[in-house]
Amino acid sequence: MTATRVCALSELEQDTARRVEVDGVAIAVVLDGNGEVHAIGDVCTHGDISLSDGFVEGETLECWAHGSAFSLRTGQPLNLPAYEPVPVFEVTIEGDDVLIDPSVTKVVN
């Protein structure tokens, strides 16, 4: 699979998550306060909640339902009740285009 354009970089609001879908995969795209774009799985691993409806805090995206904050870099929840990570996807920026390939997850050590 190749990377798909999901939105324009200029459409992203800083510290706000945006939900996109690529080939049936729901992804939360976040432009953090440092201008870096992240893409993580949009579905909280604790419940069927869209993480993009939550809150961006530094390099985390917090689920509004019960407060688990997921790292935008590793996908790991940093606090309970969620204990399983969400996937982290590679983001490519080409000009003003934000591209994501949902079949390629980032391996973070």
Interacting residues with ligand FES (CB under 6 A): 44, 46-47, 49, 63, 65-66, 68, 81-82
- For ligand FES, the closer CB: 41 or 98: 41
How many residues comprise the chain?
109
Instruction: Provide the 10 A C-beta neighbour count for residue 108.
Output: 11
Least separation in angstroms between residue 53's CB and ligand FES is 10
Check if the beta carbon of residue 72 is closer than 8 Å to that of residue 11: no
CB of 54 to ligand FES, least distance (A): 8
- Kindly tell me which of 59 and 98 has the beta carbon lying closer to ligand FES: 59
Closest C-alpha to 63, from 73, 74, 76, 52: 52
Nearer to ligand FES, 39 or 63 (CB): 63
CB of 88 to ligand FES, least distance (A): 17
36 versus 84: smaller Cβ distance to ligand FES: 84
What does the alpha-carbon distance between residue 82 and residue 63 come to, in Å, rounded to a whole number?
Answer: 9
Q: Tokens 């998550």 belong to which residue? A: 17
